[in-house]
Amino acid sequence: GAVVSQHPSWVICKSGTSVKIECRSLDFQATTMFWYRQFPKQSLMLMATSNEGSKATYEQGVEKDKFLINHASLTLSTLTVTSAHPEDSSFYICSALDPREHQETQYFGPGTRLLVL
């Protein structure tokens, strides 16, 4: 199947700093990517849909000014957690739709663990 990578795999930062997480589709072009968040012992929650060349659409309750999403190319979407606080500590996972396959086929990245001190 298709491959999606994330970088970094983990990051520790001080409260108040901004952290950028990259999501790349390695062997296909993805016009649509998704960002999810997973708190310990909880399930994945969709944060936003990233669309290449247009603004991201955010789910209810997700602050768009805090979680900046940029889908500048067909293989890269970035999530920037601005002014991170300890409550933002979580596991962030992206997924990408492979247009070569059935529309519903999403490939997930390995995730990025963020710890804000």
Partner 1 sequence: KQEVTQIPAALSVPEGENLVLNCSFTDSAIYNLQWFRQDPGKGLTSLLLIQSSQREQTSGRLNASLDKSSGRSTLYIAASQPGDSATYLCAVDPGNEKLTFGTGTRLTIIP
- Residues 3, 50, 20, 37, CA torsion sign: negative
Q: Are 47 and 62 in contact (CB under 8 A)?
A: yes
What's the closest the beta carbon of residue 73 comes to partner 1, in angstroms?
20
Interacting residue ranges for partner 1, rule: CB under 8 A: 1, 4, 6, 32, 34, 36, 42-46, 49, 59, 91, 93, 95, 97, 103-111, 113
Cβ proximity of 71 and 33 under 8 Å: yes
Closest among 117, 116, 111 to 8, alpha carbons compared = 111
State in angstroms the smallest separation of the CB of 4 from partner 1.
8
Tokens (6 digits) for 45: 């929650």
> Could you tell me the smallest distance in angstroms from the CB atom of residue 105 to partner 1?
8
- In the complex, least distance from residue 95 CB atom to partner 1, rounded to whole angstroms: 8
Cβ distance to partner 1 smaller for residue 13 or 45:
45
- List, in sequence order, every residue forming a beta bridge with 50; answer none if it has no partner: 33
If the CB atoms of residues 28 and 36 are measured against partner 1, the closer one turns out to be 36
Between 19 and 23, whose beta carbon lies closer to partner 1? 23
The answer to whether 46 and 32 are in contact (CB under 8 A) is no
Comparison of 16 and 26: residue with beta carbon closer to partner 1: 26
